[in-house]
Amino acid sequence: MPQTRPQQQKKKHHNHHHHHDAASELMDSLRLPSNDSRTTTTMKDAEGGDHTMPISSFKYAVLGCAASALTTFFSLYFPFWLGSPEAAARTYHLARFDYTVEKHHFDNTVWTYGTDYGLAAVMLFWCATMLWQPTSLRRQTVLSIQQVQLTRHIWNLLGGYSVSTLAGALSHQFYSTLELRCTWHFRILWTICVGTVAFASSSMGSIGSEMVRHFQHHTPGQSLPFIPKVFWQSYGVMTTLFATFGWFSYQRPACDIFIAGITQFPSSFYIIWILAKVGHESPHILRSSHMYIGMLSFIANAPLLPLYPILVQNTSWTLANVNTFLHSWLLISWSMQGFALRHVLRAVLTLQARPTKAVPILLSQKKKV
């Protein structure tokens, strides 16, 4: 039956809307908004949910480099604003790996390198404990990519501590003269010691980002702050480059570690923030005791910064005494980090574990004849 002219116009108008809707859906699927030129980056949580952010990965990388430069500049001056600026001024003398007899101080006693070896061994122990999870959890859990990445970032952090202290121990034990400490191989070894501390920010921040991936879906009503890992990776790489080119090199090599440690404060506060939000709002995920231990562990080394120049300049302690005290403090704070991160990993495994479901059986009934 032939259609009338109004019917044809109505059908044409309907087809026009249909094609317009299809085009709109295609544009949305390709994420090509007509009025917004910003690109987006997507965070996929452990449950498969998407969270989009209006900044591209490249821009996050640039922001990470800029944040590293600003933090490094801040770190070089921060020690002089603390409790005893006069003591800090007599302690922090920039060297750029060019050490002088008048100002250089480097302890070579067993108290320094022996405690460094001990720290390296303990950090390897905490790396191993990440694998010591209850058998019941491991049997019920299929390891996801996110869970593997979280474990890898924790290993990078604790393993970096071990590498740093091992390099420090070798430096203190075998480079006993000023001439040896002015060689290229000492510079490489000491750059490894300081560079791993500078790069620790990348691991800390990435751990915080992975915690958001896993816990966001299980914290209803809470929007956990997500910073992509590319930001932390570029931040850590740039800070390590500053250390490599001698920006953190002082006549007292312990000062190198303190300056590199100051650059960790953005990632430290980020992971503290995530622990606080998860622990307070969802205690069924992370116990309050584990939350508080983790929060304290990532800020526990801060008192050493103003304390170090006071111990060096205003007490009768030898460098061996000071280094032994510092290493003992690190042993406690880093072990607390290992303890807290192990329970974070266990919380992730617990959330992923699913009880075995019964298989329903369909009972067929015979039809009455």
333 contacts 304 by C-beta, under 8 angstroms: no
- List the domain boundaries for the chain: 55-352
291 contacts 278 by C-beta, under 8 angstroms: yes
Q: What is the pLDDT of residue 286?
A: 86
DSSP structural state of residue 94: B
Q: What is the pLDDT of residue 143?
A: 54
- Of 258, 264, 256, nearest to 232 (Cα)? 264
- Of 263, 144, 255, nearest to 204 (Cα)? 263
Q: What is the pLDDT of residue 350?
A: 80
Q: What is the pLDDT of residue 221?
A: 60
Dihedral sign for Cα atoms in the order 169, 170, 176, 180 = negative
pLDDT one digit per residue (tens) for the chain, 369 residues: 555 555 555 444 444 444 444 334 333 433 333 333 344 455 555 555 555 555 788 999 999 999 999 999 999 999 999 878 999 999 999 999 999 998 899 999 999 999 999 999 999 999 999 877 665 555 544 455 557 889 999 999 999 999 999 999 999 999 999 999 999 999 999 999 999 999 999 999 999 999 998 888 777 666 788 999 999 999 999 999 999 999 999 999 999 999 999 999 999 999 999 999 888 877 788 888 999 999 999 999 999 999 999 999 999 999 999 999 999 999 999 999 999 999 999 888 887 664 444 444 444 444 444
Planar angle of CA 133, 136, 138, nearest 5 degrees: 55
Q: Which residue reads 């393993």 in tokens?
A: 159
Half-sphere exposure of 58 (CA within 13 A, CB side): 2
Q: If you compute the radius of gyration of the chain from its CA atoms, what whole number of angstroms results?
A: 28
The torsion angles phi and psi of 4, rounded to 5 degrees, stand at -75, 165
Q: What is the pLDDT of residue 51?
A: 53
Token code pair at residue 233: 């990776």
Q: What is the pLDDT of residue 55?
A: 72
Q: Which residues of 105-202 form beta strands (DSSP E)?
A: none
107 contacts 172 by C-beta, under 8 angstroms: yes
Q: What is the pLDDT of residue 33?
A: 34
The class level of CATH for 55-352 reads: mainly alpha
**Measured CA distances, 205 to 80, 110, 182, 285, 289 (Å):** 27, 34, 34, 20, 22
Q: Which residue reads 């801060």 in tokens?
A: 302
DSSP-assigned beta bridge partners for residue 41: 53
pTM given for the model: 0.80
Instruction: Provide the terminal-to-terminal Cα distance of the chain, rounded to the nearest Å.
Output: 49
Q: What is the pLDDT of residue 18?
A: 43
Q: What is the pLDDT of residue 24?
A: 42
Token code pair at residue 79: 């020690």
Angstrom distance (rounded) from CA 267 to CA 332: 20
76-98 confidence digits (pLDDT tens) = 999 999 878 999 999 999 999 99
Dihedral sign for Cα atoms in the order 250, 124, 343, 351 = positive
Structure-derived torsion over alpha carbons of residues 310, 313, 317, 322, reported in degrees to the nearest 10? 60
Token code pair at residue 350: 């617990």
- In b/e form, how buried is each residue of 323-360, taking b as 16+ CB within 10 angstroms? bbbbbeebbebbbbbbbbbbbbbbbbbbbbeeeeeeee
Angstrom distance (rounded) from CA 345 to CA 147: 8
Angstrom distance (rounded) from CA 209 to CA 229: 6
308-359 confidence digits (pLDDT tens) = 999 999 999 999 999 999 999 999 999 999 999 999 998 888 876 644 444 4
